[in-house]
Structure 1
């Protein structure tokens, strides 16, 4: 997989798409969808980014809180102690976990593993810091 179009085609076939635009696709990933656990979900934003006006990258991001809901220093400490893939950023009023990958020569597992790790980390952060399931 080496192009944005290839990645989007894979995503459309494999996930529940909730929004589809030319340079951004959003999917809904569910957690704990068995009979003993209440289902929670995370909306994942997958966007095409162009680095230095020449290299295509894909950015995986998902919000887990607003800046007014959390103590940002506590969030950053938690992320520093527990996350392996991705990092935190503020986008508008939202605190997000995000990770970026170059599209050239991208193998599907190089996308899937970070997608799942970012989603899982955001889900845990959302539970820990807000106790809600808004995203």
Structure 2
């Protein structure tokens, strides 16, 4: 990968795109499960960011729930114990997990592996702290 355009083309080819703008793509990440009744998904937002007006990055973010509806201290402690590929933030009214990667030298596995980790971590935390699969 070298540019946002390259990554966007790959994402459109490989994932279920549910919305797209110039610098943002939303996908529905579906987890592989043996039981079709337990199909879980996670909305992932990919955003092009530019550092110092010259270095392109991609931010991988996913909402888990409303910040007002969770014990933030307990959630952050759990993220500190269980997460290796993301950090938590409040964006708008939502608690999100996010991870950022530079695009210039990005290998596809440096994108797909963190994407899967962020999605899986968020799905687990969403169930544990928000009681469902709403995002």
TM-score (norm 2): 0.96
Q: Unaligned regions of 5+ residues in structure 1, if any?
A: none
User: How many Å separate the matches in 1 of 2:75 and 2:110?
Assistant: 26
Higher helix share: 2
User: How many Å separate the matches in 2 of 1:130 and 1:52?
Assistant: 36
Q: Cα deviation per residue 1:16-70 (whole Å; 9 max; x = unaligned)?
A: 0000110000100112543365111100000000111111000000000111111
Q: Cα deviation per residue 1:74-125 (whole Å; 9 max; x = unaligned)?
A: 0100000010001000000000000000001111000000000000000000
- 2:8 maps to 8
Aligned residues: 135
- 1:131 maps to 131
Secondary structure of 2:69's counterpart equals: coil
User: How many Å separate the matches in 1 of 2:36 and 2:23?
Assistant: 38
Q: Unaligned regions of 5+ residues in structure 2, if any?
A: none
User: How many Å separate the matches in 1 of 2:82 and 2:37?
Assistant: 23
List, as ranges, runs of 4+ consecutive aligned residues in structure 1 with deviation greater than 2 Å.
Answer: 31-37
